[in-house]
Amino acid sequence: YSFYTAESMSRLTLGVAIGSVYLGGMIASPIASYAKLSVSHMLRAGTVLTALGILTTVYTPLGPIIFGLGSGLVFIGAVVYTSQMARSTLSTTSGLLMGTLSTMVYIGFAVVPLTSGLLYPTLSLAHIIVLNALIVLAATMLPIRRGGLGCA
């Protein structure tokens, strides 16, 4: 939310907030690696934490860390899920699957700020933040299939 942060945060505060997101992601990696979580639990827990982080970012400095934790879990879960899909289908296109995953991540990085900026003249910042959190929470409703075959 660059239009929000430019008005309310100094460069130092903004740097700490962004760094906190990455710190949360770094903390999530070993948690995801050592925890006995299924891929579906990792993805669902990550999306809920991400949505919680989005909402709390406005109210507490812990919001970006929570956001990073959730996003980190989702990303690790997505990579594991993608690799399981490639193995279970005996696909030689695992590079294509990982490339598609990366492309989708970068599309999200581009589309969310652009859409938020377009909506800002019509909706308040609070409404945009809640809308983003609801979109993330909606992802928990998506079916997660083990290896692309049966339900997880």
pLDDT digits (tens, 9 = 90+) for 74-102: 999 888 888 887 777 665 666 777 788 88
Is a pLDDT exceeding 80 seen at residue 144?
no
pTM for this entry: 0.80
How much is the pLDDT for 150? 39
Q: Kind and range of the H or E element at 66? A: helix 63-88
Residues 6+ apart with CB under 8 A from 65: 20, 21, 23, 24, 27, 53
Decide which of 60 and 136 is more confident. Answer: 136
Q: In this structure, what token pair is assigned to residue 49?
A: 């934490």
Torsion angle, CA of 62/63/64/69, rounded to 10 degrees? Answer: 90
Work out the pLDDT band at 1, boundaries 50, 70, 90. very low
Is a pLDDT exceeding 50 seen at residue 149?
no
Each residue's pLDDT tens digit, 35-75: 888 888 999 999 999 999 999 987 787 889 999 999 999 99
Average pLDDT value over all residues in the chain:
82
* pLDDT (mean) for 4-20: 74
How far apart CA 34 and CA 29 sit, in angstroms, is: 9
Report the first-to-last Cα separation within the chain, whole angstroms.
Answer: 35
* pLDDT (mean) for 28-34: 89
